[in-house]
Amino acid sequence: MKNTKLLLSSLVACAAFSSANAATITWEDYDITSNVSEVLTTGTIVEAVNLTSTQQVAATPTLTFAGTTFTSTGAILNNNYNTDAWADTVTGGTAADQAGYQSFLDYVDFSLNQGSGSAFTVDTFTGLTIGQDYVFQAWYAMADTETRTMTLIGDAASTDSNILQAGEYAIGTFTADAVTQDLIIQSSQSGIRFTGYQLRAVPEPSAYALIAGCFGMAFVASRRRI
């Protein structure tokens, strides 16, 4: 049984995303990867990153799916480990309807250099517009051999908690109150793993609320079928 988990909470310190530099991110409920339609396309893309092995960067410098081009990198997490040999057995998500999205889910970038509880700044988004609404989508799709969780937090007051299985994504929103926004990972296990992310500027809160509501209804419907 594969025990990779993703946990949205500020109380369980595992792999944490926080906005140490700027606004609070409010996270929606998680969902399990299934097809390319779950990739957000609302608004305007700010940044889209595919974290992968260094070998895969050379083979596939970009991946395009859902109308968005994700730039591949294996250098964000220091001392990243080649996952090519693991690809067939360590995939954590399913998106058979679109080869680009499946390839995105099939690889991760990770570091063996960070110890348990250590924090690492994955990215600092710059050039943001103060007062602008943004939506953030993050993926963690690695089936691990040990229990591993992730915590997505906006600040110390965030308590939205859900346990996930391998192959999930989470969506968060924030209104920029500075021109920069940090993305920080903290891991309860030694080493950090991450699949990829995108940041988009959304036109207005009501537009995103409608999209988030649709995702929520789809999630409830899928849960009822289980």
Q: What is the pLDDT along the chain (226 residues), one digit of tens a residue?
A: 334 444 433 322 333 444 445 577 887 777 888 889 999 999 999 999 998 877 778 888 999 999 999 999 877 765 444 443 343 344 456 666 788 998 888 877 766 655 555 566 677 889 999 999 999 898 877 655 566 565 555 443 333 333 344 577 888 888 999 998 877 766 666 666 778 899 999 986 544 455 555 555 544 444 444 4
**Is residue 3 in a domain?**
no
**Cβ of 11: how many Cβ atoms within 10 Å?**
11
The answer as to whether 6 is a domain residue is no
Domains of the chain: total = 1
Tokens representing 55 are 């070998």
Give me the pLDDT at residue 157, please: 33
> What span, in angstroms and rounded, lies between the C-alpha atoms of 50 and 109?
9
Amino acid at 45: I
pLDDT given at position 188: 62
Query: Does the residue 188 lie in any domain?
Result: yes
Torsion of CA 175, 177, 180, 181, to 10 degrees: -50
Cα–Cα distance list, 78 to 109, 121, 208 (Å): 9, 11, 34
CB atoms within 10 A of CB 87: 15
Domain-embedded: residue 216: yes
Q: Is residue 7 part of a domain?
A: no
Q: Report the alpha-carbon distance of residue 92 to residue 107 in Å, rounded.
A: 9
For residues 110 and 56, is the Cβ–Cβ distance under 8 A? no
Q: Which residues contact 80 (CB under 8 A, 6 or more apart)?
A: 53, 54, 74, 109, 110, 111
CB 167, CB 138: distance < 8 Å: no
Cα torsion 174, 105, 39, 149: sign: negative
Give CA–CA dist 115/163, Å, rounded. Answer: 23
Per-residue confidence (pLDDT) for residue 56, from 0 to 100: 78
Instruction: For residue 97, tell me if it sits in a domain.
Output: yes
- Domain span including residue 138: 16-225
214 exposure class (CB count in 10 Å sphere: 0-12, 13-18, 19+): exposed
Show the DSSP H helices in 60-204 as ranges: 99-106
Residue 169 domain flag = yes
Q: What is the pLDDT of residue 195?
A: 83
Task: Tell me if 144 is assigned to some domain.
Answer: yes
- Model pTM score: 0.72
Asked if residue 143 lies in contact with residue 86, where contact means CB atoms within 8 angstroms, the answer is no
